[in-house]
């Protein structure tokens, strides 16, 4: 999924992406094994091996199976105590989550495992459907079998299954990026889908995961080790479009969050239509006076105007700039209001792979803070939702009163000890400026620049 906005020009998202020949969401290379019995859990503590906790009970045709409690989960969350400062949550997420032979899916699984982190993988349902069976897909307002992302080869479907299985066993969340990734302004775009059409798209996305064995005819691969009906509690729409009509359906299905909103600010989240709203966020863009959305595609759209193969002499500077944006976004939140930091990515090699390198550099910088003893938590959206849901509403409301880059007046102990009251006056100062917010998919920069939608 991608979103880019240029000051005064909202059109750089889907249409420009299509013109540039971009595939909406990426994938990576052959899968790795499931690891040993001493890897750290999502909370950073050893919690057994990357194996199911119970004998597999096949579901349906055996494409998925119930295997007990998911391994590598943090301890049960607790509400904040009076005077206790909130943790700094950081959520890395991946759109598409397909494996196409470039080594990126296992690369970031390895990185997460090394640092005891969890992530969210928004799996595109079509990445488990062979192209020979593409007419099983009936996209709303589009011809049967149509898709604005490519179908994977059989070998890549198999590799995707291997990596998704590994991801869940290592404690990561499997969400959805839906199916055909239709963007833009045309009638077929997800922007115009009704709640009923979103339900059809979701039902199909789930079916492609739950029935991959029937659709492929493969019997020599293990089941995915989870019940997708229970695992799936959130997603991100293509190009950050269509959230308004998606939310009623998501709520009806019992989803707990949605990560489809563009142009959020680095503040504590709230619910929309009864569901937690986790938007991509505007973050500092080193060397520029405007801010950029916290996603690799947006970095690329600002630096090379949607070109995925710009002249290579630009790469070192752009890599440094994009890594710096993530790091500055983290530092601004961590040193001020402790708002959760949401980062979106694709398994793509745009501009020589510099965005994969920059997100890895930022990840290691953030993980180093955790490993030095800071209360930094690298978690999935689902795990963060678990934490939010046990907090007292008045505490969360108080945290939401802290603006971007705004530290609590008198320090966290005083701020979190005070009896929550109405609005205003709770916090002052801070080390950041205000963030350039986005409304309706457009970013408001101070001096131009573009933001993109993926």
Domain boundaries, given as residue ranges, for the chain: 87-122+148-175+214-453
Instruction: Return the HEC string of the chain.
Output: CCEEEECCECCCCHHHHHHCCCCCCCECCCCCCCCCCCCECCCCCECCCCCCCCCCEEECCCCEEECCCCCCCCCCCCCCCCCCCCCEEEEEEEEECECCCCCHHHHHHHHHHHCCCCCEEEECHHHHCCHHHHHHCCCCCCCCCCCCCCCCCHHHHHHHHHHHHHHHHCCCEEEECCCCCCCCCCCCCHHHCCHHHHHHHHHHHHHHHHCHHHHHCCCCCCCECCCHHHHCCCECCHHHCCHHHHHHHHHHCCCCEECCCCCECCCCCCEECCEEECCCEEEECCCCCCEEECEHHHHHHHHHCCCCCCCHHHHHHHHHHHHHHHHHHHHHHHCCCCCCEEEEEECCCHHHHHHHHHHHHHHHHHHHHHHCCCCEEECCHHHHHHHHHCCCHHHHHHHHCCCCCCCECCHHHHHHHCCCCCCCCCECCCCCCCCCCEECCEECCCCCCEEEEC
d(CA 438, CA 116): 33
| pLDDT at 42 (0 to 100) | 34
Bridge partners of residue 58, in order along the sequence: 65
8 Å CB contact between 73 and 380: no
d(CA 436, CA 292): 8
Beta strand pairing call for 57-59 and 64-66: antiparallel
| pLDDT at 48 (0 to 100) | 38
d(CA 266, CA 286): 17
Q: How far is CA 83 from CA 153, 166, 264, 320, 410, in A?
A: 54, 39, 28, 38, 12
Q: Which fold has domain 87-122+148-175+214-453?
A: TIM Barrel (3.20.20)
pTM of the model: 0.86
Q: pLDDT by residue for the chain (454 residues), tens digit each?
A: 443 333 222 222 322 332 233 333 433 333 333 333 333 333 333 333 588 888 999 999 999 999 999 999 999 999 999 999 999 999 999 999 999 999 999 999 999 999 999 999 999 999 999 999 999 999 999 999 999 999 999 999 999 999 999 999 999 999 999 999 999 999 999 999 999 999 999 999 999 999 999 999 999 999 999 999 999 999 999 999 999 999 999 999 999 999 999 879 999 999 999 999 999 999 999 999 999 999 999 999 999 998 999 999 999 999 999 999 999 999 999 999 999 999 999 999 999 999 999 999 999 999 999 999 999 999 999 999 999 999 999 999 999 999 999 999 999 999 999 765 544 434 433 333 333 333 233 332 322 343 445 5
d(CA 130, CA 153): 7
| pLDDT at 51 (0 to 100) | 85
d(CA 236, CA 311): 31
Residues with Cβ within 8 Å of 254's Cβ and at least 6 positions away in sequence, in order, are 233
Burial 83-96 (b: 16+ CB within 10 A, else e): eeebbbbbbbbbbb
| pLDDT at 420 (0 to 100) | 55
| pLDDT at 419 (0 to 100) | 61
d(CA 185, CA 134): 24
Identify the residue whose tokens are 């775009």. 189
| pLDDT at 94 (0 to 100) | 98
């Amino acid at each position: 999924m991608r979103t880019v906005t240029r000051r005064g020009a909202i059109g750089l998202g889907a249409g420009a992406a299509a013109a540039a020949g971009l595939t909406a969401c990426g994938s990576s290379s052959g899968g790795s094994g499931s690891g040993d019995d001493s890897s750290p859990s999502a909370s950073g503590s050893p919690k057994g091996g990357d194996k199911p906790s119970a004998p597999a009970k096949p579901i349906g045709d055996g494409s998925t199976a119930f295997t007990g409690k998911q391994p590598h989960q943090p301890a049960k969350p607790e509400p904040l105590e009076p005077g206790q400062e909130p943790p700094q949550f950081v959520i890395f997420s991946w759109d598409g989550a397909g494996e196409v032979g470039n080594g990126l899916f296992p690369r970031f699984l390895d990185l997460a495992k090394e640092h005891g982190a969890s992530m969210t993988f928004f799996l595109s349902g079509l990445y488990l459907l062979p192209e020979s069976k593409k007419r099983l897909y009936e996209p709303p307002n589009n011809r049967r079998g149509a898709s604005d992302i490519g179908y994977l080869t059989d070998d890549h479907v198999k590799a995707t299954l291997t990596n998704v299985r590994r991801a869940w066993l290592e404690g990561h969340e499997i969400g959805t990026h839906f199916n055909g990734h239709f963007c833009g302004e045309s009638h077929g775009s997800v922007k115009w889908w009704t709640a009923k059409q979103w339900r059809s798209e979701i039902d199909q996305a789930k079916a492609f995961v739950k029935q991959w064995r029937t659709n492929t005819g493969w019997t020599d691969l293990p089941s995915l080790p989870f019940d997708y009906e229970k695992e799936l509690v959130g997603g991100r729409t293509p190009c950050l479009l269509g959230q308004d009509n998606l939310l009623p359906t998501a709520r009806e299905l019992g989803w707990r969050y949605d990560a489809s909103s563009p142009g959020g600010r680095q503040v504590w989240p709230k619910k929309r239509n009864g569901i937690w709203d986790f938007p991509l966020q505007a973050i500092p863009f080193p060397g520029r006076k405007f801010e950029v959305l916290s996603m690799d595609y947006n970095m690329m759209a600002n630096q090379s105007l949607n070109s995925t193969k710009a002249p290579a002499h630009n790469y070192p500077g752009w890599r440094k700039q994009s890594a710096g944006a993530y790091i500055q976004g983290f530092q601004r939140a961590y040193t001020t209001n402790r708002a959760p930091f949401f980062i979106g990515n694709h398994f793509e090699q745009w501009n020589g792979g510099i965005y994969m390198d920059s997100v890895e550099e930022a990840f290691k910088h953030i993980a180093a803070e955790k490993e030095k003893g800071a209360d930094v938590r690298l978690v999935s959206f689902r795990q963060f939702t678990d934490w939010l849901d046990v907090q007292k509403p008045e505490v969360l409301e108080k945290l939401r009163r802290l603006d971007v880059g705004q530290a609590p007046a008198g320090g966290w102990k005083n701020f979190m000890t005070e009896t929550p009251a109405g609005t205003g006056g709770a916090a002052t100062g801070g080390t950041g400026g205000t963030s350039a917010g986005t409304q309706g998919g457009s970013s408001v920069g101070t001096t131009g620049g573009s933001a993109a939608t993926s």
